[in-house]
Amino acid sequence: MLNRIIFALVIFAMLLIIPNVSLTLLEQKFSITAELDNPSEANDEVIKENLESSEIDEPNLIKVFNTKTSEVMVIDFEEYLKGVVASEMPAEFNLEALKAQAVTARTYLLYRLLKYPDGQPEHKDASICTSTHCQVWNSKDDLIASHPDGWFNNYWNKIEEAVNSTDGQILTYKGKIIEPLFHSTSGGRTENSEDVFSTSVPYLKSVESPYEKEAPKLHDSMKITVAEFIDKVKSVYGDLNISSDNLNEKIQLGEVSEGGKIKSLYIDNTEISGREIRSLFNLNSTNFSFIQSGDSLEIVTTGYGHGVGMSQYGANGMAEEGYNYKEILKHYYSGIEIAVMK
């Protein structure tokens, strides 16, 4: 009995120590100097890339904060990636699109491990978490439970192939690992990072994304009453001189981004950002327009997500057109190279 207890304690100690040792060896190969431009907006900022990517060794085990259980898990690096790919992109997608997502997920994970070796402020015991705050991860059991019968048998081998066939591959820009942002649907053209976040990043530039016609949220709309719209706007921006009779003339378009999204508009001469309107009305994107009909107001949107980096439905559209995953990645991330870790 005593031997069993001692054995259990040894195994537990190894689970605590191994991830730290793996990450320490990894960190020694990098010069970690990246800083947030505005730490108070860490969730929305694009971190200026300056993490050296040469001589990279992939850690075997990593610590991940599970937002469902509020516990830190110790899991295999590549097994974690399979859970991310299966959670972030439909397994029905073309294999080349899934490969692009696998390389993106691996790069994003490594970037976070290096940027936050001691854990992020929101989850201090781990560099990465399982929610949209980082990138979504689900266990096999959760994936099986959330999909129709037969999903695992039909698609898990495909997920494994996407990860295994791109083993060790990451994205770099001028020899430095990147932070590869991605989103669901751009609406025809992606965004410059500086038009959405506060930082201009050379590999996150606006590019065309023409193959998104199959995206379920390419176009969407919501209807509310004019009174509801006015009440919500006034609750945030004060007692503006707006009513159902003058709303059409009181809303004026401001600046539009290269990607076709609204950067700013004016309501009764008060400047409001497109991101603020999107958040206020829980819109799919900042590419929106208003259609008033009497006391009803329809808000029409194009695209889904922030629009920066790789469009997932655009990637699948490219794959269906015959592009491979490397061509997809080099299209959406300007000037990048695909490096291979040791």
Pair of tokens at residue 112: 């976070």
Report the alpha-carbon distance of residue 341 to residue 62 in Å, rounded.
Answer: 16
> Do residues 83 and 139 touch, judged by C-beta distance below 8 A?
yes
Pair of tokens at residue 21: 């040792």
Report the alpha-carbon distance of residue 258 to residue 204 in Å, rounded.
Answer: 13
> How does pLDDT run across 192-243, given as a tens digit for each residue?
999 999 899 999 999 999 999 999 999 999 999 999 999 999 999 999 999 9
Report the alpha-carbon distance of residue 217 to residue 185 in Å, rounded.
Answer: 7
What pTM was computed for the model? 0.82
pLDDT band at 121, cuts 50/70/90?
Answer: confident
> How does pLDDT run across 66-110, given as a tens digit for each residue?
999 999 999 999 999 999 999 999 999 999 999 999 999 999 999
